[in-house]
Amino acid sequence: MINFGFTVWIVLIPLIIFVLVGFFGNRFKPVVSGIVGTSGLFVSMALSYYTAYQYFFNVPRVGDAFQKLIAYNTVWLRLTEKLHIDLGVLLDPISVMMLIVITTVSFMVHLYSIGYMKGEKGYERFFSFLSLFSFSMLGLVIATNIFQMYIFWELVGVSSYLLIGFYYTKDTAVAASKKAFIVTRFADVGFLIGILILSFTTGTFDFITLTDPNGTAITQGGGIMFLGLSTMTWSMIFVFMGGAGKSAMFPLHIWLPDAMEGPTPVSALIHAATMVVAGVYLVARMFPIFHFSAPVALDVVMYVGAFSSIFAAVIACTQFDIKRVLAYSTMSQIGLMMFALGVSGYGEEAGLGFMASMFHLFTHAFFKALLFLGAGAIIHAVHSNYMNEMGGLRKHLPITHITFLIACLSIAGIPPLAGFFSKDEILAAGHEKSLFLFILGLTISALTAFYMFRLYFSIFWGKEQNYHHTPHEAPKVMTIPLMLLALGAIFAGLLPFASFVTSDGKPLAMHIDLAIAIPAVLVGVFGALTAMVFYRKETNIPEKISTALGGFYRAAFRKFYMDELYLFITRKIIFNYVSRPIAWFDRHIVDGSMNGVSYVTNEVSTRIKSFQSGQLQQYAWVFVTGAVALALAFIYLWTN
């Protein structure tokens, strides 16, 4: 069998580039940084494909199942006798799949950014951060233990913070980056507490030990009950909290739309294809524990996923900022992935949901990255983010137009594009669980098709606006990644995905059930056609509908007032009613009492010091008075 030690370099190369570009980037022409970064990622990508090939075809399977391999492992920090944090490389079907996704999208984004960021200040800073992110994300997926995952989890968080706040002189960008970091940090505390409970209960951080269905971690059961739920359930709910924060699940999603303040390639890479699916990956990674030891937590995953999905889809229909539409769309699609994991069982056919979720993650990465990069090309051309300031762009941006259309068809689930296959599997998994969930899935599909084509028709059709200058197609370095990703969005679904990635590692036969596929396609077409009627030519139907919906429309347009709620909690309650009183309390009560002690000491000494005046008459007078008083007191006591 081949030695997979080289996989360490997949992760280390971006790190080295981060350091090199970060320290020395400004000594060269900016474009050097871009080229160095892109070629580094190309090497990582090539190594990832080689790893995937070797892993899936040349590693002997045991009992038909793909094995989990530790390609590299070293102790980083020893905590107790049992617990130690390791850094290493774990290869299994999902981590290998993620390596492909991350390096591919990251390479495309690097390439695209060479053109997109041209002339921006801080070009080399951008590329060094991009490499830092790629390093952290790759380190996250190959983690051999949950603490390594947490380490890289925090690092992707900070890379995301740095990249959202890339335009750091813009106040909105600064606020957005801060919000993203703090909201995910809040979620990460949950994750950390989950890890602490889990490691204390099972005595290990190691993924292989933790997720082995016959291993001690799972067979020892859920642990003692606390507030009606087992320890394991609590720990998994806390762990999922971390995942929900990163993956922008309701109610921790509020940072994602604001994160669109970052440069568009960043949105494509971090906030569409890779980092935001880390939560899904986390649940998938821990799936056997969820399934065997904490089924209640898995239900939580399902409900949160389903609700977030429909919630975001509704909001996406009302937004005008094209990047925000895409952001809510991302949230909705990730909700679907979570939902699929939530309904999944373990092993064989029961694990369909797991496979579907990973499959959708895979295809989604291509078409969503494509959509964002396309949006970047559009914004580049018209200098606006708002679709009501766009229209008729299909003549000016032919390549962007075609690739964008492909992505829309793919996400809407039109066969034979990639999105159709993966979404079909998710619907099938939902159908197995209950009819209601299936209908919910169909509704989300219809909404998805509607808002995507609303976007498409508003941008490329409709009335041409008065642009400042005639929009022109992006340079080749930007359109080539678009075309390559479009290939992915078309063909990724044709891969026999279930032969590689399943819940228990054993290949699964994939088939299309017409009873599910036909309604799914029909609702997709219906959604797309409705959008066409509404937005292809300028009509007043959308306005009429929004007026008819009244309050509901306004609520959806204002994103159901979630931002206002958060502001209320953070600004009003925490800042004004907790932090401010504490500061006051500290200055006036705690410190006041310390000052009080010194004041009293001072006062007492001031009073006492007048006795020490040095005047003999006064001393004599005090002496005589004292003596008389004492004598009187004694006489009084004596006589009684």
User: Of residues 171, 513, 538, 603, which one binds other proteins by CB under 8 A?
Assistant: 171
Site track for other proteins across 70-99, x = CB under 8 A: -----xxxxxx--x-x--------------
Tell me the C-alpha to C-alpha distance, in Å, between residue 141 and each of 130, 133, 144, 621: 17, 13, 9, 90
When asked if residue 19 is in the footprint of other proteins (CB under 8 A), the reply is no
When asked if residue 169 is in the footprint of other proteins (CB under 8 A), the reply is yes
User: Of residues 12, 158, 402, 439, which one binds other proteins by CB under 8 A?
Assistant: 158
When asked if residue 196 is in the footprint of other proteins (CB under 8 A), the reply is yes
When asked if residue 16 is in the footprint of other proteins (CB under 8 A), the reply is no
When asked if residue 165 is in the footprint of other proteins (CB under 8 A), the reply is yes
Identify the residue whose tokens are 């088939």.
511
Q: Report the nearest approach of other proteins to the CB of residue 382 (Å).
A: 26
Distance CA 554, CA 558 (A): 6
Site track for other proteins across 406-425, x = CB under 8 A: --------------------
Q: Which of 534, 350, 384, 361 is nearest to 449 (CA)?
A: 534
The smaller minimum CB distance to other proteins, of residues 582 and 630, is found at: 582
The smaller minimum CB distance to other proteins, of residues 80 and 612, is found at: 80
Q: Which of 348, 295, 291, 336 is nearest to 498 (CA)?
A: 348
Q: Which of 303, 304, 302, 296 is nearest to 227 (CA)?
A: 296
- Stretch in the footprint of other proteins (CB under 8 A) among 32-40, 166-174, 415-423, 492-500: 166-174
- How crowded is residue 213: how many other Cβ atoms within 10 Å of its Cβ? 14
The most distant pair of C-alpha atoms in the chain lies apart, rounded to whole Å, by 122
**What's the burial of 550, exposed, middle or buried (CB within 10 Å: 0-12/13-18/19+)?**
exposed
The smaller minimum CB distance to other proteins, of residues 83 and 525, is found at: 83
- Stretch in the footprint of other proteins (CB under 8 A) among 171-179, 401-409, 509-517, 552-560: 171-179
- How crowded is residue 42: how many other Cβ atoms within 10 Å of its Cβ? 16
Q: Report the nearest approach of other proteins to the CB of residue 107 (Å).
A: 24
User: Of residues 145, 199, 202, 204, which one binds other proteins by CB under 8 A?
Assistant: 199
The smaller minimum CB distance to other proteins, of residues 171 and 513, is found at: 171
When asked if residue 225 is in the footprint of other proteins (CB under 8 A), the reply is no
The smaller minimum CB distance to other proteins, of residues 595 and 625, is found at: 595
- Stretch in the footprint of other proteins (CB under 8 A) among 59-67, 197-205, 490-498, 607-615: 197-205
When asked if residue 575 is in the footprint of other proteins (CB under 8 A), the reply is yes
**First CA to last CA across the chain, in angstroms?**
110
User: Of residues 168, 303, 552, 599, which one binds other proteins by CB under 8 A?
Assistant: 168
* DSSP H or E run through 233: helix 231-246
The smaller minimum CB distance to other proteins, of residues 82 and 476, is found at: 82
When asked if residue 147 is in the footprint of other proteins (CB under 8 A), the reply is yes
Instruction: Give me the half-sphere count of Cα atoms (radius 13 Å) on the Cβ side of residue 109.
Output: 33
The smaller minimum CB distance to other proteins, of residues 205 and 366, is found at: 205
Site track for other proteins across 100-139, x = CB under 8 A: ----------------------------------------
Q: What's the one-letter identity of residue 124? A: E
When asked if residue 591 is in the footprint of other proteins (CB under 8 A), the reply is yes
CA 105 to chain centre: 16
CB 64 within 8 A of CB 507: yes
When asked if residue 174 is in the footprint of other proteins (CB under 8 A), the reply is yes
Q: Report the nearest approach of other proteins to the CB of residue 181 (Å).
A: 6
Angle at 194 between CA 190 and CA 200, to 5 degrees: 145
Helix (H, G, I), strand (E, B) or coil at 65: strand
* DSSP H or E run through 229: strand 229-230
Q: Report the nearest approach of other proteins to the CB of residue 182 (Å).
A: 6
When asked if residue 185 is in the footprint of other proteins (CB under 8 A), the reply is yes
The smaller minimum CB distance to other proteins, of residues 476 and 588, is found at: 588
Q: Report the nearest approach of other proteins to the CB of residue 92 (Å).
A: 23
CB 486 within 8 A of CB 370: yes
Q: What's the one-letter identity of residue 228? A: G
Contacts of 554 (CB under 8 A, 6+ apart): none
Give the phi and the psi of residue 170 in degrees, each rounded to 5. -95, 125
Site for other proteins in 594-613 (CB under 8 A): 594-595, 598
- Stretch in the footprint of other proteins (CB under 8 A) among 157-165, 415-423, 434-442, 462-470: 157-165
- Count the helix, strand and coil residues of the chain and give each as a percent rounded to the nearest 5: 75, 5, 20
When asked if residue 223 is in the footprint of other proteins (CB under 8 A), the reply is no
Q: Provide the pairing of β-strand 229-230 with 225-226.
A: antiparallel
Distance CA 445, CA 449 (A): 6
Q: Report the nearest approach of other proteins to the CB of residue 37 (Å).
A: 19
The smaller minimum CB distance to other proteins, of residues 185 and 536, is found at: 185
Q: Report the nearest approach of other proteins to the CB of residue 150 (Å).
A: 8
Q: What's the one-letter identity of residue 25? A: G
Three-class SS of 129-192: HHHHHHHHHHHHHCCCEHHHHHHHHHHHHHHHHHHHCCCCCCHHHHHHHHHHHHHHHHHHHHHH
When asked if residue 189 is in the footprint of other proteins (CB under 8 A), the reply is yes
Where would I find the H helices in 383-434? 398-412, 418-433
Q: Report the nearest approach of other proteins to the CB of residue 571 (Å).
A: 11
Contacts of 297 (CB under 8 A, 6+ apart): 233, 236, 237, 240, 290
The smaller minimum CB distance to other proteins, of residues 152 and 450, is found at: 152
Distance CA 284, CA 82 (A): 25
The smaller minimum CB distance to other proteins, of residues 547 and 579, is found at: 579
User: Of residues 46, 518, 569, 583, which one binds other proteins by CB under 8 A?
Assistant: 583
Residue ranges in contact with other proteins by CB under 8 A: 75-80, 83, 85, 147, 150-152, 154-155, 158, 161, 165, 168-169, 171, 174-175, 178, 181-182, 185-186, 189, 192-193, 196-197, 199-200, 574-575, 578-580, 582-583, 586, 590-591, 593-595, 598
